[in-house]
Amino acid sequence: MPTIKILPHPEYCPNGAEVTAPPGTSICEALLDNGIQVEHACDMSCACTTCHVIVREGFRSLNEMDENEEDLLDRAWGLEAESRLSCQAILAQKDLVVEIPKYSINHAKEKH
C-alpha cells in the first residue's frame, strides 16, 4: 500500500503525519480515513477547491486530471504546477508527499 506523508499544517496536521491507503483511494479519502480532517465542502463531488493539496513527491503516479478539475484548480489559493484536488487525485502504487495549503477558499467557513 502506498504511504502518504503529510507535511505539517497548523490546523489539520500540526506535526505532520504518514498514512497508508490502498491504490484506487483518493488522497482526500485517505486523509479523512486516518483522522486528518482536510476540508471538503462539496462532499468530494469536484465542485469546489477546499480540498486542494500540493503533491510534492509522486505527482506523476496519480490519475490524469479531467477538465473539470483543471478549471476548478484555476480558482484555488496558492496554485502550483503540482496542485490537485485531493478528492479527485487517485492513488496508484507510489508513495506521496503532500502539502495542505495554509489557506483555502471556503465561503461557508469564512467569518463575516
> What confidence tier does 104 reach under pLDDT thresholds 50, 70, 90?
confident
What pTM was computed for the model? Answer: 0.91
- Rounded to an integer, what distance in angstroms lies between the CA atom of residue 2 and that of residue 89? 13
Inter-residue contact 63 to 40 (CB < 8 Å): no
Q: Does 107 have pLDDT greater than 50?
A: no
Please compute the mean of the pLDDT values over residues 25-47 and round it to a whole number. 94
Contacts of 85 by beta carbon, 8 Å cutoff, 6+ apart: 28, 46, 49, 51, 52, 53, 69, 72, 73, 76
- Rounded to an integer, what distance in angstroms lies between the CA atom of residue 61 and that of residue 57? 9
Sheet holding 83-85, edge to edge: 17-20, 3-6, 96-99, 52-57, 83-85
Q: What structural domains does the chain harbor?
A: 3-99 (3.10.20.30)
Q: Does 106 have pLDDT greater than 80?
A: no
Strand 17-20 to strand 3-6: parallel, antiparallel, or no bridges (unpaired)? antiparallel
Closest CA to 47 of 101, 103, 108: 108
* Percentage of residues in the chain having pLDDT higher than 70: 93
